[in-house]
Amino acid sequence: MVSAAEEHRAVAGAFTDRVRGVAAGGWDAAAPCEGWVARDVVRHLVEWFPVFLKSGAGVDLPKGPSVDEDPVAAWTTHSDGVQALLDDPATAEKVLSNPNTGDVPLDRAIAMFYTNDVFMHTWDLARATGQDERLDPDKCAELVEGMLPMDGVLRSSGHYGPRVEVPDDADPQTRMLAFIGRTP
């Protein structure tokens, strides 16, 4: 089994490749998330997660420049901070407390809530900026299987759009994207 630190390293690494691959002027390209541009995909990840960590585990991540000022540096500072947290042996002893999830070991909470979000948004950034959109098919299948039983809860959270219909024999990436409301 892959540790939360190893999984984050791989997933964040793929996202970092897409961040660094945005061409000049590409940060204002429309993203698949309604009302967002490519820069907003990065903004979402670097803004929601530090608040979640601080309120649930008392953890402060390093702050980089704003996404408007330098999206690449904002992302890399943030991502490196999350990776350092996961690589720290003391993290195994920490717990994230949240009224919706209860108490969850911090490394597991990061993997469940944050690393999976980075994985899904890798496609959004790639699509917005004309980069490689391929995602790990095994991870896509794992996410779909994990989300299916929680369909109603996930939809009512407002974080997912309406499910897009795809053929039953669609590949795992297409199924995952359709589940979260993207048109693959």
First CA to last CA distance, the chain: 29
Q: Residue ranges per domain, the chain?
A: 4-134, 135-184
* DSSP code per residue over the chain: ---HHHHHHHHHHHHHHHHHTPPTTGGGSBPSSTT-BHHHHHHHHHHHHHHHHHHHH---PPP---TTT-HHHHHHHHHHHHHHHHHSGGGGG-EEEETTTEEEEHHHHIIIIIIHHHHHHHHHHHHHHT------HHHHHHHHHHHGGGHHHHHHTTSS-PPPP--TT--HHHHHHHHTT---
Do the beta carbons of residue 153 and residue 159 sit within 8 Å? no
Return the pLDDT at 119: 98
Tokens of 52: 């979640």
- Per residue of the chain (184 residues), what is the pLDDT tens digit? 899 999 999 999 999 999 999 999 999 999 999 999 999 999 999 999 999 999 999 999 999 999 999 999 999 999 999 999 999 999 999 999 988 888 999 999 999 999 999 999 999 999 999 999 999 999 999 999 999 888 888 877 777 888 899 998 999 999 999 999 998 8
What's the CATH class of domain 4-134?
Answer: mainly alpha
Return the pLDDT at 150: 85
